[in-house]
Amino acid sequence: MNINDIMQIANGYLENNTVFEIPYNLFLQPQGRNLYNHLVRENVLPGRFGVYIWENSITNEVVYIGMAGRVKTNGQMGSHSLINRLVASRGRVNGLDILTNDFVFNYMQNNNVNTLTFHILYTTNQTPPSYLESVLLYNFYTQNGVLPKLNNAF
């Protein structure tokens, strides 16, 4: 399943989308982690929710499908916005928080990835990001028999 397949499935659930690239050499510059955060903040609409997809720019392999934002009991969106999710902690490893910028850098370094393309899909107000993420992961799984390599579970 490639990004074109994903976009075809997601199209009816989206208000808009953004695409930008994160080059590996960004992290090799002084303050590379901060430059990553700046690129995210510069390219992602603030306060918005939806789904994000990471694609290896050379092989076109979709390596991750994630979401930001949950519907609260009162029907309002809550939790992390897309920007916050893409710069926040991805969890703890050996007692230390791993920020997304470190996670992306480590993945790119360990897998010899020169550039990741970030596809940001802004969902409509009627589409919970978790629903669209589930639909996309389900379709990815049924077509490939596996999840994207960075998705741990579905």
Virtual torsion, Cα 26, 97, 86, 10, nearest 10 deg: 120
**pLDDT band (50, 70, 90) for residue 147:** very high
Tokens 């969106």 locate to 77
Whole-structure pTM value? 0.94
pLDDT given at position 146: 97
Asked if 49 and 129 count as a contact pair (C-beta separation under 8 A), the reply is yes
pLDDT in tens, 81-120: 999 999 988 777 677 888 999 999 999 999 999 999 999 9
